[in-house]
Chains A and B, each alone.
Chain A
Amino acid sequence: MTKYIGKSIKRVEDKRFITGQGSYTDDIKIPNMTHAYILRSPYAHANINSIDTTAAAEADGVVAIFTGSDIPEAIAGVPCGWQVDFKNGDTMKEPPHPLLCRTKVRHVGDGIAIVIANTKTQAKDASELIEVDYDILDAVTCPKKAAEEGAPLVHNDVPNNMAFDWELGNPKEEVSAAMATASHVTELDFINQRMVPNAMEPRSAIGLYDTAYDKYTLYTSTQNPHLIRLLMCAFVLGIPEHKVRVVGPDVGGGFGSKIFHYVEEALVIWASKEIGRPIKWTSDRSEAFLTDAHGRDHITNAKMGFDADGKIVALQAYTYANMGGYLSTFAPAVPTYLHGTLLQGLYTTPKINVDVKAMFTHTNAVDAYRGAGRPEATYLLERLLDLAALEMNTDPAELRMKNFIPAFDGVEQEGYVTQVALQYDSGNYEPVLKRALEMVGYEAFREEQAAQSNGKLLGIGFSTYIEACGIAPSAVVGALGARAGLFESAQVRVQPTGKVSVYTGSHSHGQGHETTFAQVVADRMGIPLEDVDIIHGDSDSVAFGMGTYGSRSLAVGGSAIVKSVDKVLEKGAKIAAHLLEASADDLEYAEGKWTVKGTDKSVGFGDVSLTAYVPHNYPEGLEPGLDMNAFYDPANFTYPFGAHIAIVEIDKETGHVKLKRFIAVDDVGNVINPMIVDGQIHGGLAQGIGQAMLEGAQYDDTGQLINGSYMDYCMPRADDFPSFEIDRTVTPCPHNPLGVKGAGEAGAIGSTPAVVNAVVDALWKGGFKVKDVPMPMTPERVWNAMQS
């Protein structure tokens, strides 16, 4: 039955990319198209006294210039898609995020004016002629300082800059009481620094208004075209949704940053009708640094208590989460329901409390970035565990084994109910760590480490993580504040000749859906892979969709496809039964044909599909055609897990850290295409390791992003990594038809603390008993750690 599932089928989408025929938004040309450039604030916090566009409007090639005051009052701005209210029940503070600033700017890069010209160069030239008179105000960029009395306010009507505060788990007093019984408490203050997602394709959007049909088209580099359409039509522009087509063509990476509805999308759509011509806007990399939603940015204090046997007795975590100047689409969910809920980790910790304050600052918005909250949770837990092992002089792997939740498959044994609102689906945690230790050659490594005497310090770091993926059961997330459902839809259109076009609401921006989904369909239908086409990304052809993020495409989108395929086969069986003059109950379907059980009488899928569209000899009362739709709303999240181990070598003279080996054993449930899953893991690892060693956005006190270019922000390069050593175990998801859990974020979630733990281990073993080296662990920071 499984001719394709489980095989590393080469990707069908590759041909267009390796021959230069991919079609990204900026590659699209439309007749009579204009080009837009957005003038942005150079200040983090300022009042706008006046904007003079007179000279700019007369510049060569300029078609139109719009400022905030040109946009109708009714268009208040882009909405937030998730509401997290204050602990005391007060409503989340949700100040408007205007398309262009009218009176005040709140971060460097906030939009002032859109200049539209015949060429991009003309638009850019003209923007330099716009005169803006600002009163510069004090800024605050640190979420902890933003909470202090007297801090500059980002929004005048948001006291203390607090968007909301939030708490989850056992009551604080219970956690404190449990902590008081501990024979050892490990405490750590740390910063999970702000990351810039840096998808290689800068964001781009084309707005087109067609007067003949009174219809708009938006091409945009997005992970979820239908979600953008819904948000933009219903909450921003008030345009009827059926009059808007949104296309996410080939998209050059997203990593979360292309989930969100950005102001530029609404701007080009609105302005395209105003000027009667299509408008293309494409971000420069410098603009991308300033305006693509950033990730992480937590300041945390955490304590973990252990009894005399090394069993965890309590966990307390306090976090300030930086929201930036405005609430981006999913921002409130990230430090709360995607972070606090994961603090059970893989462990039986009986008492957990997490407390989060979400703060506005004069910085770019922060939202989901690969892993979104779960990397922060993993970092918190795994740093504490390795540090505790060092402090208690015990083995970090043994300490984990001692605290692992026992295996459960979610079928015979119930899913594990955590202290922080989740029920894990299935898990078997010891094997991933054991396999990783075996791959490392753990005992030999420890001997080598002890014997090291060449001026270098060797260290090993662990991370055993869990994530909540396959986002998400709509009713559950609705109860938690999501303003959208998180199901997925699929449609299978069967052509009369038996070829199959599958329309999915998931969106591929590198994940290889055109291959993986085709493998699923071809196997389920018993037809050749070549007979299946996967179509995504266009709201005019795909009926509906929620898009791709949160490692959800296969678990949710794939399940919707399976449901539609099953509906096709169910109807096909009725037609087959008619043709075979048998009862549908007596038929079995295999290898693309229905056979009357126990006989050699059969009819092929192609004959049935032809009959469905040429219904001359057809079951009475049955509709012609063989297209089927399905929506799939998952019963639970999925819970992939794994064990990551880093081995580093520190040069004592310079503080330079070399990542010598990285071992990852992940369990993402069943695997459809191992090659693609491995690729997802590799990419995630690079981003997670990049955070530990190289990357991090740096705002100065005035709110300038001082490393907002590739000359300043350290992107990971090929020679920063060794070849990764990866393997997997398979614990199927019990609640979706494919048994899959999702693989997109695992690498980024597990890897970061392993690397930092390895550096701390190396330092500790070298006699430098430091608790933390702040990320990114530059040679300077590591060297300083050795001097303290």
Chain B
Amino acid sequence: MANKISVTVNGTTHTGEVEGRVLLVDYLREHLSLTGTHIGCDTSSCGACTVHVDGKAIKSCTMLAAQADGASVTTVEGLSSNGELHPIQEGFKEEHGLQCGFCTPGMMMTATDLLKNNADPSEQEIREALEGNFCRCTGYHNIVKSIQYAAKKMATTA
């Protein structure tokens, strides 16, 4: 069954029909060709597909596209603005928070949500906030540092 939906993604509103069972992540990747959001599992465990829906980090494989009707979605492609990297993107680059890059978009979306709610998280709070995001390359060591970098940067520019 097709559902008519209207979703604003990274500031652009898309209106169209999707099959009822289409997941938000498939809608983003297949319908809108926003392939920065990745699929790393089929059990909503790994967090590679994390995006923001109405400002909150969610796993886009856990939500139907139809449920996003009327919502505002931000993906990794929408993180930077006016050609300026978001502090979290800068943090991942400066602190070598990524290797293969596959988990990185989801990690950054989770991290920005964390920093919105907790501007100065401790190392333990960062590690706990990343519970739902897997990385196989970095051992998380530099991801923690990347988020600390972003927190510091956002504090000084706020």
Contacts and interface: CB of A to CB of B under 8 A. Distances in A.
- Most A-side CB within 10 Å, residue of B36, B77, B96, B144: B96
Interface stretch (A318-326, A458-466, A707-715): A707-715
Interface string B116-158: 0000000110111011011111111111100000000000000
Contacts of B79: 19-20
Contacts of A106: none
A29 B32 CA distance: 12
B41 A18 contact: no
A253 B100 contact: yes
B101 A723 contact: no
Interface residues of A, number: 58
Contacts of B85: 18-19
B101 A22 contact: yes
A682 B76 contact: no
A285 B46 CA distance: 10
A286 interface: yes
A274 interface: no
B41 to A, nearest CB: 4
A703 B130 CA distance: 34
Contact of B46 (A200, A509, A684, A687): A200
Contacts of A23: 35
A451 interface: no
B34 A20 contact: yes
Nearest to B98: A17
B102 interface: yes
A686 interface: yes
Contacts of A285: 40-43, 46
A686 B142 CA distance: 12
A85 interface: no
Contacts of B43: 285, 709-711
Given A11-B93, A711-B45, A718-B127, A687 B136 contact: yes
Contact of B94 (A10, A19, A684, A686): A10
Contacts of B46: 200, 285, 710, 715
Contacts of B48: 200
A675 B128 CA distance: 25
Given A10-B94, A19-B80, A200 B103 contact: yes
A17 B104 contact: yes
Given A252-B38, A510-B101, A512-B99, A29 B141 contact: no
A261 B86 CA distance: 39
Given A19-B89, A252-B38, A711-B43, A11 B96 contact: yes
A496 interface: no
A683 B80 CA distance: 27
Interface in B25-60: 29, 33-43, 45-46, 48
A511 B99 contact: yes
A252 B102 contact: yes
A586 interface: no
Nearest to A713: B45
Nearest to B124: A719
Contacts of A21: 36, 77
A201 B38 CA distance: 8
A616 interface: no
* Chain A CB within 10 Å, residue with most, of B34, B124, B138: B138
Interface in B60-103: 75-77, 79-80, 85, 89, 92-94, 96, 98-103
A200 B134 contact: yes
A417 B46 CA distance: 46
A717 B19 CA distance: 34
A251 interface: yes
A199 interface: yes
Given A17-B104, A719-B124, A679 B136 contact: no
A21 B135 CA distance: 18
Contacts of A718: 126-128, 130-131, 133, 135, 140, 143-144
Nearest to B139: A686
A715 B108 CA distance: 19
B93 A18 contact: yes
Nearest to A16: B101
A27 B30 CA distance: 9
12 contacts: A18-B101, A18-B108, A19-B89, A20-B75, A21-B36, A24-B38, A201-B38, A202-B39, A510-B100, A679-B137, A719-B131, A721-B127
Closest 6 CB pairs of A and B: A20-B36, A17-B101, A252-B102, A686-B139, A510-B100, A710-B45
